[in-house]
Amino acid sequence: MYNGKKIVVVLPAYNAALTMSKTISEIPMDIVDDLVLVDDNSTDNSIEVAKSLGIKHIIKHTENKGYGGNQKSCYDKALELNADIIIMLHPDYQYTPKLLLAMVSVIGNDLYKVVFGSRILGKGALKGGMPLYKYFANRALTLFQNTLMNQKLSEYHTGYRAYHKDVLKKINYHQNSNDFIFDNEMVAQIFYNGFEIAEITCPTKYFEEASSINLKRSITYGLGVLKVSFLYFLTKLKIYKWKLLIQ
């Protein structure tokens, strides 16, 4: 626990057998109360590895539900466990677990209710080997979103996120896509409901075993980001009522 708050780390997994052990070994278990791993119907032995590592709460999807669908199961279980602070950490070791304490402290000391680990602050993305096309696409989409959403985030597309339970209980994340655009829809819901997002510089790593979407899916994701931004903008202006924001 941290300042009397229960900490649950959720691990959305898909074919993470080769990197899971390294990820788990660096999680500061002196403050983390529970680990939740949701396996999205992996084709490797992720489940067996998770069991061997002593992860208590393991959920296996019998069919692949997608990145967003995986997160829905993660957050549902974390709230069921009465978590006060929920951190999403990818078990592919692309994001360092060593930042968990810093992220938890921001929420645990009641400074912000949401914290993102940003790969852009401190030039972490390029140092970690982010492909140039992804880097420039990230920067262009972030500029576009900051303009339409009237915010100043350095990055909307990180997968390293920590939430206070109030945020997950307030927004209706079950309405969101089951695909990668889920993360972006979450950001729109967070801002629309009046929450602020803190950012912490996060080094990242790109290597063969780390998960990544291909160019085609990246383009689909980019178009989805544009749609999310426009719908948020129109809803804020009361020109349109987007169901993900208007409950």
Report the pLDDT value the prediction gives residue 123, as an integer from 0 to 100: 67
Domain count for the chain, please give it: 1
Task: Indicate which CATH number applies to the domain containing 41.
Answer: 3.90.550.10
**Do the domain assignments include residue 61?**
yes
Q: What's the distance, Cα to Cα, between the start and end of the chain in Å?
A: 33
Which pLDDT belongs to residue 136? 86
**CA 13, CA 87: separation in Å to the nearest integer?**
14
Ranges of beta strands (E only) in the chain are: 7-13, 34-39, 57-60, 85-88, 114-118, 161-164, 197-201
The string of pLDDT tens digits covering residues 48-96 is 999 999 999 999 999 999 999 999 999 999 999 999 999 999 999 999 9
Q: What does the alpha-carbon distance between residue 186 and residue 181 come to, in Å, rounded to a whole number?
A: 9
96 domain residue, yes or no: yes
3-class SS of residue 123: helix
Inform me whether the pLDDT recorded for 4 exceeds 60. yes
**In a domain? residue 246:** no
Residue 247 domain flag: no
Domain presence at residue 37: yes
Look at residue 1 and tell me if it is in a domain: no
207: confidence class by pLDDT, cuts 50, 70, 90: low
* Single pTM value for the model: 0.92
| Cα–Cα dist 115/196, whole Å | 9
pLDDT-wise least confident of 68-77, 133-142, 165-174:
133-142
pLDDT band at 193; cut points 50, 70, 90: very high
Question: Is residue 99 scored above 90 in pLDDT?
Answer: yes
Does the residue 181 lie in any domain?
yes
DSSP 5: B
- Residue 204 main-chain phi, psi, to 5 deg: -135, 165
Alpha-carbon gap, residue 226 to 152, rounded angstroms: 17
pLDDT, mean of residues 30-40: 98
Polymer length in residues for the chain: 247
pLDDT at 231 over 80: yes
Domain assignment present for residue 175? The answer is yes
* C-alpha to C-alpha distance for 189 and 195, rounded to whole angstroms: 9
Across the range 150-159, mean pLDDT stands at 94
DSSP 134-162: HHHHHHHHHHHHHHHHT---S-S--S-EE
Is residue 208 scored above 70 in pLDDT?
Answer: no
Domain of 147 in residue numbering reads as: 7-236
The answer, yes or no, to whether residue 132 has pLDDT greater than 90, is: no
pLDDT score recorded for residue 83: 98
Strands 7-13 and 85-88, how do they pair?
parallel
